[in-house]
A and B are shown apart, each in its own frame.
Chain A
Amino acid sequence: MIMPRGSGQLLLPAKPWFIALSLLLALLADMLPLGPQPARPHLLAVVLVFWNVHQPQRIGVGWAFFLGLLIDVNQGAVLGQHALAYSALSFLAVTLHRRLLWFGVWQQTAQVLPLFFAAHLLQFLARMAFGGMAPSPWLLLAPVVEALLWPLACALLLAPQRRAPDRDEHRPL
């Protein structure tokens, strides 16, 4: 097999059940009833962007829309608020996916930050148009926290793909 030049490691194919499990866990984490907290990061948004970037053929805009709808119902928000934001987020991530992976992790973080800002801005505009209350300014912190979670998501969600292709008992890694 030909190794691409300069790359340290080859990745195993992503397992569909792992993708589904990570999305489910992120959804559950976002559904934890902690009350309204403006600076709370949306884990589901981070995981969605991650899979949109790494597996755009499997997880696309449609899944983002559906998961957003579930979050809307759970929060009792206007139906479509998160669905719209996550669809846009997912589209931006899919358009970004060919370029993004050529950068290091921290440069990737800088590039996904505007995406999360755009998602929160869309929600803000949608709710202001449909008569919501102005949220506290701490909301500005949420996209920053989400972007800072990006390196962690890369480490955790790529871990199952980093194992050796043919496992050897004498060489655990």
Chain B
Amino acid sequence: MALATLDRRPPPLFRQGLTALTKLLFCAALSLVLMAADARFGLVSPLRSALATVLNPLQRALLAPVDAWDELRDRLRGARSAMQAEQAARTLLAQQALVLARTQTLERENEALRRQLGLRDSLPVSSRAANVLFQSGDLYSRRLVIDRGRADGMQRGAAVIDERGVLGQLTRVHLQSAEVMLLTDREASIPVLNARTQALMLAYGGERHAGLELRFVAANADIKTGDTLVTSGLDGIYPPGLPVAEVALVERRGQTGFARVLAQTLARADGARQVLVLEPPAAVLAAQGEQREPGAQPSRAEGKRP
């Protein structure tokens, strides 16, 4: 028996409003239009940005319980593991200090050599630090949300790295937050260079277990498990020489002309807390400006080049 209620108002007889089916047809059509406009044409970013700006304070407030839980777990793990973590961090810092010192020497040497050979100086890369707010809950993509947005000068297309390597690229920039598309997302791809053999390759995301897949590698190519892949800089988005991934699996099948190569990204999305956002190079900005207003003179963006 259904539970009866004390609500004794008569049900509306004449003003029933739209039926649920009509509303469903309307809402479903609207959602399909929205999805197509978002995924295919990229038309709804103002609406998304407006809603994101409204939701942003809520999202930040909701971080508090999650952070409190993490802190509680850290406390329960005790002083011993905290000291171990600090020891590991110090060791890492010492190793990096050595690398840094050598890099500085090499950079000076490189500069002198370039001047002697009459080559162009490599462009300086400016960067900004940002904190990772959270990993997005979307099951069908891989994204991070960072706490810097348009108000802090973030721009679409900027590369994002953490202390281990390249994380991804800013794809959506809202007023006070931005979304980073990780390299392991299905839509992401990055041109890489095998540091050992200096061979150029393309890495695509979307591989569920390993993260990246290197496509179009010849079956007899010189590539081994454990090879380090770095950015080649050919795309003009990622500066050259940043570590990206490590080859995890090489499968050479007899029948096909290509080898199946999987790589594990060095940057780990679930562990990232602080990241660096690299300024996109002037060429990328110019291309974006042209996209926004076709027919505009590219010289406007060109003038920003340092």
Residues of A at the B interface (CB closer than 8 Å) are 3-4, 6-7, 9-14, 28, 31-38, 40, 56-57, 60-62, 64-65, 68-70, 73-81, 83-84, 87-88, 90-91, 94-95, 101-102, 126-127, 130-136, 139, 158, 161, 165
Contact = CB atoms under 8 A, between A and B. Distances in A.
B137 A33 contact: yes
Contacts of A56: 20
A60 B20 contact: yes
Contacts of B11: 57
Interface string B139-159: 111110100000000000000
Contacts of A75: 136-138
Interface stretch (B48-56, B78-86, B215-223, B240-248): B48-56
B66 A61 contact: no
B31 A73 contact: no
A127 B44 CA distance: 17
B178 to A, nearest CB: 10
Interface string B36-73: 11111000100110011001001100110110000000
A79 B27 contact: no
Given A11-B3, A12-B6, A79-B48, A70 B55 contact: yes
13 contacts: A4-B4, A12-B5, A37-B137, A76-B143, A77-B141, A80-B30, A80-B33, A81-B35, A87-B28, A87-B31, A127-B140, A136-B208, A165-B6
Contacts of A81: 31, 35
B34 to A, nearest CB: 4
A83 B38 CA distance: 13
B131 to A, nearest CB: 13
Contacts, number: 171
B59 A31 contact: yes
The A contact surface, by secondary structure, is loop
A31 B66 contact: no
A133 B47 contact: no
Given A94-B20, A133-B185, A74 B208 contact: no
Contacts of A91: 20-21, 23-24
B206 interface: yes
B59 A7 contact: no
Contacts of A76: 136, 138, 141, 143, 145, 172, 179
B7 to A, nearest CB: 4
A130 B36 CA distance: 8
A3 B35 CA distance: 50
A139 B137 CA distance: 13
A84 B1 contact: no
Closest 3 CB pairs of A and B: A132-B140, A33-B134, A80-B34
B138 A33 contact: no
B133 interface: yes
B107 interface: no
B119 interface: no
Given A76-B138, A91-B20, A102 B1 contact: yes
Contact of A36 (B27, B58, B135): B135
Contact of B39 (A4, A73, A87, A131): A131
A61 B24 contact: yes
Given A36-B136, A91-B23, A7 B1 contact: yes
Interface string B252-282: 0000000000000000001000000000000
Nearest to A76: B136
Q: Which of B11, B138, B185 has the most CB of A within 10 A?
A: B138
A22 B270 CA distance: 31
A76 B138 CA distance: 7
A34 B137 contact: yes
